[in-house]
Structure 1
Amino acid sequence: MRRRTLLLSFPLALGGPALGLAADTEDRPDAPAGYPVSLEQMQQAVAQRFPRRYPVQGLLNLDLQTPRLRLLPEQNRLRADMAVEAAGPALNRAHQGRFDVEFGLRYEASDRTLRAHQLRLARLDFPTLQPKVVEMLNTYAPVLADQSLREVVLHELTAKDLAPVDAMGMQPGPITVTRSGLVIGLVLKPL
């Protein structure tokens, strides 16, 4: 395995990984360079914001459990797969299902966070529900996807993380999804 030399390295807060301007290329000279964020780091951040409950028109509640994140490097997106339970006055009993959403990422400079955006419903599945109820849920599903994951924070950079980058006149730029996590590209700040 061939690796690119680390050009710049700064320790991150709390003994985290090094912030570098070159990444492990694994014999891929086109591997993106920048600040790495692992899938495990994102999974931990998302776990802090779930479970969540969403009422549906006073008829039932949807309880979403912590999503399991998957990397989709070919589309430069992520997928969140989560268990969901539907229960309430309109149903005789609780029903278990699955809810999958795909999304892109954006960097929010005001609070130094990576956030989910451009959500697309991939699947909402309740095998034991009546077809009319499933149809109603599928109508509501895009709103549920938007409410449950839109702008969910997947990672937060600290001021200490960004101090060396800022000192070089750079800032976070494009975000690339790789096979092992994310790489936040670094770009020159506008004058």
Structure 2
Amino acid sequence: MQRFLKSRRTLFATPLLLASVLLPGCATGPRTVTLGETELNLLLSRQMPVEKRVLELLDTRLSAPQLRLLPERNRLALSLQLSWRERLSGHEGQTPLTLEFALRWDEATRAIRAQQVELLEPGSAGGSGRQALASRAAKLLAEQWLEGQAIYRFKPDDLTKAEALGLKPRAVTVTSRGVEITLAAS
């Protein structure tokens, strides 16, 4: 449970050297920080597996993350392996999941968050009616877990120089190069 709560705070956490990468000079105007697909996958893999117990009845585990860029739709796709076990009966199951989501900037927490999460590939429920129900519940949990999740969080010092120049994160866009965060005038 503690591991889930830690990963719930931020999916990806890494220092961002804005002073040396983003703002090499004193020129003003929009600047862009790009988080590439490889970097995002590396950051994500550090946060897995995610384990959660549901109502003391169902243990779930999300693992084997693989993130893909969907620039044509300004979204990301996240493939995961979902494993679950009913605590009372001991029945177990697993299924691959793919979740698709958009991104938004959250000024209050200085984070980029997942939004509009959709389950793309439901996987096979298989087994008895009870197992199918447990599988559906676990899938719903995965979808709810990702909604609002911090994908990237700026550290307080990361934006200090940008803010001194009057720049703040404004747009978050998924491109073929990665997730681009545009910093523009306040």
User: What is the TM-score normalised by the length of structure 1?
Assistant: 0.70
Q: Pick closer, same or farther for the CA change 1:20–1:74 going to 2, 3 Å.
A: farther
Determine which of 160, 164, 167 is the counterpart of 1:167. 164
Which residue of 35, 39, 42 maps to 2:40?
A: 42
Per-residue deviation, 1:107: 1.8
Q: Distance in 2 between matches of 1:16 and 1:96?
A: 45
Aligned to 1:184: 181
2:105 alignment partner in structure 1: 107
C-alpha root-mean-square deviation of aligned residues, in Å?
3.1
Name which structure has the greater RCO, CA cutoff 8 Å, separation 6+: 2
| Residues 1-191 of structure 1 aligned to structure 2 (within 5 Å) | 18-19=21-22, 34-89=32-87, 93-126=91-124, 128-130=126-128, 133-135=131-133, 137-138=135-136, 141-146=139-144, 148-189=145-186
Change (3 A) 1:185 1:104: same
| 1:49 counterpart SS class | coil
Task: Measure the CA separation in 2 of the matches of 1:46 and 1:17.
Answer: 24
Q: Residues 17, 105 of structure 1: CA spacing in aligned structure 2 closer, same or farther, 3 A cutoff?
A: farther
Higher helix share: 2
Distance 2:31 2:73 in 1: 18
Distance 1:88 1:52 in 2: 17
* SS at structure 1 position matched to 2:72: coil
Q: TM-score, normalised by structure 2?
A: 0.72
Gaps of 5+ in 2: 1-14, 25-29
Counterpart position of 1:3: none
Report deviation, 1:69.
0.8
- The aligned residue for residue 9 of structure 2 is none
| CA distances 1:167-191 after superposition (whole Å, capped 9, x unpaired) | 22121011110112111122321xx
Note closer, same or farther for the CA distance 1:159–1:55 as it changes in structure 2 (3 Å cut).
closer
Could you say if the C-alpha distance between residues 182 and 84 of structure 1 is closer, same or farther in structure 2, counting changes exceeding 3 Å?
A: same
- Rg (Cα) greater in structure: 1
| Paired positions, count | 167
Q: Is the 8 A contact 2:22 2:31 kept in 1?
A: no
Residue 119 of structure 1 aligns to a residue in which SS? Answer: strand
Tell me the SS of whatever aligns to 2:127: coil
